[in-house]
Structure 1
């Protein structure tokens, strides 16, 4: 009888070890997938900032020329989309940098659950940030423009309007570059939405694996407590 019980206990222990090993392998795959996506997202967010910064710097430098009668920018100009894209890029860069640092720093303790929680929160925050940046750029909420104008011009729309002008119109210096940069930044911002969704999906998979193994551990613990209680009652 004792031999049978021993064999049964040994079988459960072997099964538990197999489940733990499977969980660790899956978690390793999830960890590297999430880390790779975070590096990629970090790079794209940096690229958004790098694309938007030169046009903004060019605008700030040339907008002062209006005082000398050399205005390059219209009265209905709105710089907020460029600032919004820069802010979104900086926020997403910071979110992913924190995750990368936390994931790579060595620790004597298991960080599976904290990393799952932070990755999920970071993905949600990054998704909302990128989406708000895109919607703000497209629709310009609370946008005001002087009388006589039907809409506002943004850094992208104004520079690209000059870029695609007639052959008799000379494009101002750096407008071609600013048009391409702002267009690239918008495309990259759209990419960030999809990449944050991917990170969120991977984080959700990791959270599901972690909760599943936690339930199994709890069930195994309760079973062992029941066996100990049964043995004590027999003695």
Structure 2
């Protein structure tokens, strides 16, 4: 086994939701493996901290902003990334949002917004970036799924629907694009310490219940995703396709 299969030198990556948390850690991890990284967030200057960390690794870094709930903005994001890079080799669809409300009261505008951000943007970016990957007969797409790609959760029906759908879209694109040497996979993080899980972390009862179920005995840190992302982004995973890789401390095993 040649360890160069894990190198991402001379590759260009686009990572959405890279301003903080899981997306920030993934973007920095790809840079550490040698990739040039375009990081995207929902607001201008949102990725300044991430961008500084990327550049400090001795690779090229750029920051873009786009509202992932807006189709035109998503397509423009893909065009700007293409203009900067000449062609994206690695796409990480990490940008997402969550809204909590009991199902019987759930706001339909929020339902649509969550699906637009979590699902529609991932498909649109894959579609736009995938055109170049198909032409080049090479590419890696990594979608960020969830434990709620496998279970239902509570008071987050739109988020659950979006993450079940992300798992399905991952498999659907893998089926269509494997013939072009494009691998489409997903990472399903377990319970990680991020802004999205702040409500659970601060709930003493739920926090204890969750921690007790995780065989590792603790919540994940964003950096725990870096190894999986680098693996799925590089040549080492050329025969892995349509897979949902759980990085969960053993949560699903229990």
TM-score of the superposed pair, with normalisation by structure 1: 0.21
Going by fraction, where is helix more abundant, 1 or 2? 1
Larger Rg: 1
Going by fraction, where is strand more abundant, 1 or 2? 2
| Larger RCO (CA within 8 A; separation ≥ 6) | 1
